[in-house]
Amino acid sequence: MRQAAEARNISSIVLDKAKFPRFKPCAGWVTPQVLRWVGEEVDNYPHGLTEFTSFDVSLNGFKFKLPTHQYSIRRFEFDDWLLQLAEPQFYMYDVREIRQENGEYVVDDEFSAHYLVGAGGTHCPVYQTFFSQISPKGQGAMIVAQEENSNSITRMPAASCGSLRINCPGMPGMFPKGTAMSMWAWVVLPGN
Ligand SMILES: Cc1cc2nc3c(=O)[nH]c(=O)nc-3n(C[C@H](O)[C@H](O)[C@H](O)COP(=O)(O)OP(=O)(O)OC[C@H]3O[C@@H](n4cnc5c(N)ncnc54)[C@H](O)[C@@H]3O)c2cc1C
């Protein structure tokens, strides 16, 4: 990954206010395309990487198995591993202000770059500065998520790994991973 960036003459830095590995509730679903982008290093991934071949879908009481070919990881582990793999200059830094100046993005008068990539989550300063006005996040819905460690869940059969249940006005789901289980629920708030 680092060699690929160097070959393209790309130098990058990463700013994050958290020290990695950092807490990150997420279903942890990654597509085969993501793993192809990471490259062959993924063969030596030191944490749990669960492959699953179907989703158990329940839609308004109608249940069926949806064949698929996907993977799941724990973001707590995967993000930290990616960071170590890419070896960028990492700064533990709390971004306060971003502005555009002379064709560059300037962060707090401390950092500048031609290109800026934001994580895009709720608290992402890139999203807050450039996208919150043109693409506001919905006010009428909320996602709650929990990731649990458990030895017993590793005994789940791989074929039933993915599980989605769609039952308006919300969507609960769960994803087993090597040593953990992610559970989440997307909920439409009353009145919306
Ligand atoms: C329940 C749930 C399930 C999901 N499932 C999936 C899934 O299966 N697959 C998938 O790909 N995505 C999934 N997502 C989406 C994914 O988890 C992220 O929400 C999305 O990718 C953006 O998150 P992020 O970590 O990139 O950003 P954020 O959650 O916003 O975090 C970005 C980073 O920015 C840092 N940060 C925040 N503020 C500052 C600041 N001022 N200065 C410096 N650093 C800062 C934080 O420390 C954090 O490390 C899911 C999300 C939820 C809520």
Residue spans of the domains in the chain: they are 2-188
* pTM, entire model: 0.83
| 28 C-beta closer than 6 A to ligand 1 | yes
Which two tokens mark 89? 């200059």
Q: Which of 59, 48, 33, 25 minimizes the C-alpha distance to 158? A: 48
Q: Compute the distance between CA of residue 17 and CA of residue 103 in angstroms, rounded to an integer.
A: 25
Atom of ligand 1 nearest to the CA of 127: 30
Q: How far is the CA of 115 from the centre of ligand 1 (A)?
A: 20
pLDDT in tens, 75-133: 999 999 999 998 889 999 999 999 999 999 999 999 999 999 998 777 899 999 999 99
| 22 C-beta closer than 6 A to ligand 1 | yes
pLDDT in tens, 126-184: 999 999 999 887 776 677 777 776 555 444 443 344 455 554 455 667 777 767 777 76
Domain covering 2-188: architecture: 3-Layer(bba) Sandwich (3.50)
* DSSP per-residue string spanning 45-99: --S--EEEEEEEEEETTEEEEEEEEEEE--HHHHHHHHHHHH--EEEE-----EE
